[in-house]
Structure 1
Amino acid sequence: MDLTGEAVQIAAVDGLPGGQVSQPAAVPANDAYTARLHTSLEAVRPLWLRFQADGVCTAHQHFAWVEGIVARLMPAGAEALIVEVNNAVTGAPLMLVPLMLRPAFRHRVIEWLSCGVCDYSAPLLADASAWTAQSAQAAWAAVRSVLPPADRVHITGIPRRIDGVANPLALLAATRDSMQTTYGLAIDGDPETVLKRLCRPSFVKEFGKDWRRLERLGGLEFVEADTPALVELIFDGLVRMRLNRFREMGRFDLLTQEPVVDFYRKAALQGLSDGSVRLFGLRVGEALIAAQYLVVHQGTVHALLIAIDQNAVPNVSPGLLIMGRLIGWARERRFDCFDLSVGNQGYKGHMGAKGSVLAELRQGVTMRGSVAGAAIEFRNRAEAFVRSNPRLLKAAQGLMRGLRRLRGGSSEPQ
């Protein structure tokens, strides 16, 4: 299947500097874009950093974040594919699309350069110029014209907009709503009253009651990890609390994988110098009862990883407490959007966050890729059905706990 649309091959690019590969440029008959393929982050570092600073992107596409993905998380046999899209008339760069090619079960798939640690798939744009369905389709045709052969394309986590600008990926004719929903709060005004003004009254009431209860216990402290030692301390507590809780719920978590833990740890330490990653803890005395891992870009705070010790203080919701406190912190620093990330967890609606359905792009290029894509779609829908049925979900979680006990011995690991 030819997915390049009406792209017309017009030139060959030879002798490209900085690790770029020789690839034909392309211009679609209905618009004027060329594309160049890079297989090295270093080849596009200056352009990437310019788009990051002066253009439109999300924190999930920060250069340091993606650099860590390539260094620590790329699966065996995978290859980074960064496509630079340019104006064919002026040569001006307009967009960077970070993808990767990896081997899957008996086929090859092109995905977003994420490896599970990017909630959102959004290209880096040169500026806030508007995209239309026609221009997005033409630009995507140029992208496809320089990509290597693969059996399928599967890009998930596509937000409809990037900082107010239409995401070109979301405008493609082949893009469809996914089963993922993301939640967020627009925050403005006085930080002292932000919760009362913008969150649900029930959340505000519960937050105030629980906060006062912890204050009466003494030693309540909201801590930002602003030194390497504090980063290590709070991050270790986050991993411990998160794995314990996910084990209790019979759920898998990426933090069971050492390379992923190493990636998040290194990114948090990097954040001490560039401010792109922030780590917070909520302590009562010496006990860490909640931790939150954030990434930030321009006016948006993205809450990525939250971990709690639900048993530390009975009848208190430490997750809601640290989240509420962080909304105030974000507004104090003039952030105007608090992103609660992907997932339908009940606390998000309880806070008053608004949901938005993410999109995905699934294209079978070969018959093998189409069959593999259909099988994956069936599995995802079956999993979603189980999660939407409390009885089935409880049974599945019980089965997973039983399997873990069999693997680890007669009792749950402590």
Structure 2
Amino acid sequence: MTRIVPMEVARKPTGEPTDAPLIAGVTSHVPAQGDAQTVKRVEIFASIEAAERQWRSLETQFFTSVHLSYDWCRNWLEATGTEPVVVLLHFTGGGRIMLPLEIIRQGGAKVGRYIGTSYSNLNFGLFSPDNMQFSPPLLSAALSEAGLKLDLLALYRTPERWRGVANPLMPLDRVLSNNQAFQMTLDGGFDKALSRINGKKRRKKHRLGERTLEELGGYEIVHGDDPETALRLLEAFFVQKAARFDKQGKLDVFAKPGVQDFFRRLVVTKTEENVPLLRLSAVQLTDGRYGAISGVTRKNGHLICQFGSIDEEMAGELSIGEFLFYRLIEDACANGQMMFDFGIGDEAYKRSWCDQITTQYDCYLPLTMKGRAVGATLRAIASTKQAIKANPRLDKIARAIQRRIS
């Protein structure tokens, strides 16, 4: 079922102050109010199939992240059985913003968040590159009037700007996300990219790793470009990751219901370029062992390492994970890719590779009084986590407590 409700937004004459923030869609300047678009109407889709045509049209933008693509979200919903709702905002000048949401319960409230949020690294760009603005209170009222049966929108892990494009959702209440994203820019080719991160030392380390692997009997880099290989690599990843979590005393996040099925679907789904939506690669030794495995997505020159694992028995012999990263990044440069993204989470190895850190935000829009209360609680929790992470002593204590609880 689809409902369409018009939304008339009062506008003051150009030059007068306004309570509605002005948002630049593509350019970095704040436009005059008379140049901006305002929300005209709202569409709500109870199924993703009903929104597919417009969704696929929007996701072709070069700045739209893979996590908001139709096939990524479709696979998540099919694997987990999560209830979806898709919101499409239409603006006066033809601009559109689409919000593909899954409905969950938090604190007794119905919360809409981006589909598959728990396993996404960056959510951005399911909108047309137009100059748009809106008032959060008026948008909240319009969504409720359109029949959106939610208490709160919680849009996690979205940057203020991405690939030179401004995020039109920034007028919403927001706090810093707990984890930022780490990227390595690839412009200029592999040699230039390495030169920005101590290339001489990294090349030497790679040669030593290659020598060690040859002493172990040799190796090859294998890719899951066919379903059989992809699924075999994925099952090996699950085993390696489970062993790693067990060693660290952590819960296995890949063992949650539906998650493994989700990734099995991704690795056999092909993109328009006829490559896997999630491509697995591994360092395979001649004895059949996989020294390291990674899963990487590619969209419009942006590669994201969605996950990775190593053979714990080989961890002390060489930096096998970094060895695989080196080869994947080298290959990405040879194929004209623009960025290799290590995803969220602050780790020493990511900082050693990356020359760019992207700050991300969690945005909230309450639709009811209950949603306002739950949203305030979620923002407070996020701010507390940020304060703990900023204090090395508190962060160390928190990690120790988390390990003990796990």
Bucket of the pairwise TM-score, normalised by the shorter protein: 0.7 to 0.9
Match of 1:9 in 2: none
Do the aligned residues in 1 keep the contact of 2:240 with 2:312 (CA within 8 Å)? no
3-state DSSP of counterpart to 2:206: helix
Do the aligned residues in 1 keep the contact of 2:173 with 2:364 (CA within 8 Å)? yes
2:185 is equivalent to residue 183 of structure 1: no
3-state DSSP of counterpart to 1:116: helix
Match of 1:279 in 2: 280
TM-fit CA distance, 1:377:
4.6
Question: Percent identity of the aligned residues?
Answer: 19
Do the aligned residues in 2 keep the contact of 1:56 with 1:125 (CA within 8 Å)? no
TM-fit CA distance, 1:359:
0.7
3-state DSSP of counterpart to 1:292: strand
3-state DSSP of counterpart to 1:28: coil
| Counterpart-to-counterpart distance in 2, 1:98 and 1:221 | 40
| Counterpart-to-counterpart distance in 1, 2:175 and 2:254 | 30
TM-fit CA distance, 1:363:
4.0
2:351 is equivalent to residue 349 of structure 1: yes
Instruction: Give the counterpart of 1:362 among 353, 361, 364.
Output: 364
CA-to-aligned-CA distance 1:291-324 (integer Å, 9 cap, x gap): 1111111111011011112322533111111112
**Which consecutive unaligned segments of at least 5 residues does structure 1 have?**
1-18, 402-414
| Counterpart-to-counterpart distance in 1, 2:397 and 2:88 | 46
| Counterpart-to-counterpart distance in 2, 1:165 and 1:383 | 28
2:194 is equivalent to residue 196 of structure 1: yes
Aligned amino acid, residue 346 of structure 2: N
Root mean square deviation of aligned Cα: 2.9
3-state DSSP of counterpart to 2:270: helix
Do the aligned residues in 2 keep the contact of 1:181 with 1:343 (CA within 8 Å)? yes
TM-fit CA distance, 1:156:
1.1
394 and 116 in structure 1: CA distance in 2 versus 1, 3 angstrom threshold: closer
Do the aligned residues in 2 keep the contact of 1:194 with 1:331 (CA within 8 Å)? no
CA-to-aligned-CA distance 1:381-414 (integer Å, 9 cap, x gap): 566638944652563355246xxxxxxxxxxxxx
Match of 1:52 in 2: 59
TM-fit CA distance, 1:374:
4.4
Aligned amino acid, residue 283 of structure 2: L
Do the aligned residues in 2 keep the contact of 1:111 with 1:155 (CA within 8 Å)? yes
2:86 is equivalent to residue 82 of structure 1: yes
372 and 88 in structure 1: CA distance in 2 versus 1, 3 angstrom threshold: closer
| Counterpart-to-counterpart distance in 2, 1:63 and 1:122 | 13
TM-score (norm 2): 0.81
| Counterpart-to-counterpart distance in 2, 1:198 and 1:146 | 51
217 and 397 in structure 1: CA distance in 2 versus 1, 3 angstrom threshold: same
| Counterpart-to-counterpart distance in 2, 1:314 and 1:208 | 17
Comparing 152-161 with 57-66, greater Cα deviation is found at 152-161
Give the aligned length: 372
Alignment of 1:6-21 (within 5 A): 19-20=1-2
2:156 is equivalent to residue 156 of structure 1: yes
Aligned amino acid, residue 198 of structure 1: R
2:29 is equivalent to residue 24 of structure 1: no
Do the aligned residues in 1 keep the contact of 2:177 with 2:382 (CA within 8 Å)? no
139 and 238 in structure 1: CA distance in 2 versus 1, 3 angstrom threshold: farther
TM-score (norm 1): 0.80
Which is bigger in relative contact order (C-alpha 8 A, separation at least 6)? 2
Match of 1:72 in 2: 79
CA-to-aligned-CA distance 1:104-145 (integer Å, 9 cap, x gap): 34222122222412222224123x44x46x458699566665
| Counterpart-to-counterpart distance in 2, 1:186 and 1:173 | 30
3-state DSSP of counterpart to 2:154: strand
Match of 2:308 in 1: 306
Do the aligned residues in 1 keep the contact of 2:176 with 2:382 (CA within 8 Å)? no
3-state DSSP of counterpart to 2:284: strand
Instruction: Give the counterpart of 1:104 among 81, 103, 106.
Output: 106
Do the aligned residues in 2 keep the contact of 1:200 with 1:351 (CA within 8 Å)? no
Alignment of 1:28-43 (within 5 A): 28-30=9-11, 31-43=38-50
Aligned amino acid, residue 154 of structure 2: H
376 and 94 in structure 1: CA distance in 2 versus 1, 3 angstrom threshold: closer
TM-fit CA distance, 1:55:
6.2
| Counterpart-to-counterpart distance in 2, 1:381 and 1:54 | 32
Comparing 34-43 with 110-119, greater Cα deviation is found at 110-119
3-state DSSP of counterpart to 1:242: helix
2:400 is equivalent to residue 395 of structure 1: yes
| Counterpart-to-counterpart distance in 2, 1:87 and 1:55 | 21
TM-fit CA distance, 1:239:
0.8
| Counterpart-to-counterpart distance in 1, 2:113 and 2:119 | 13
| Counterpart-to-counterpart distance in 2, 1:71 and 1:209 | 44
3-state DSSP of counterpart to 2:59: helix
Aligned amino acid, residue 345 of structure 1: E
2:223 is equivalent to residue 224 of structure 1: yes
Match of 1:116 in 2: 118
143 and 312 in structure 1: CA distance in 2 versus 1, 3 angstrom threshold: same
393 and 212 in structure 1: CA distance in 2 versus 1, 3 angstrom threshold: farther
| Counterpart-to-counterpart distance in 2, 1:67 and 1:176 | 28
Do the aligned residues in 2 keep the contact of 1:27 with 1:88 (CA within 8 Å)? no
| Counterpart-to-counterpart distance in 1, 2:147 and 2:205 | 52
CA-to-aligned-CA distance 1:173-217 (integer Å, 9 cap, x gap): 5233222211101102334x2553232344444333223322333
Match of 2:240 in 1: 241
Comparing 219-228 with 111-120, greater Cα deviation is found at 111-120
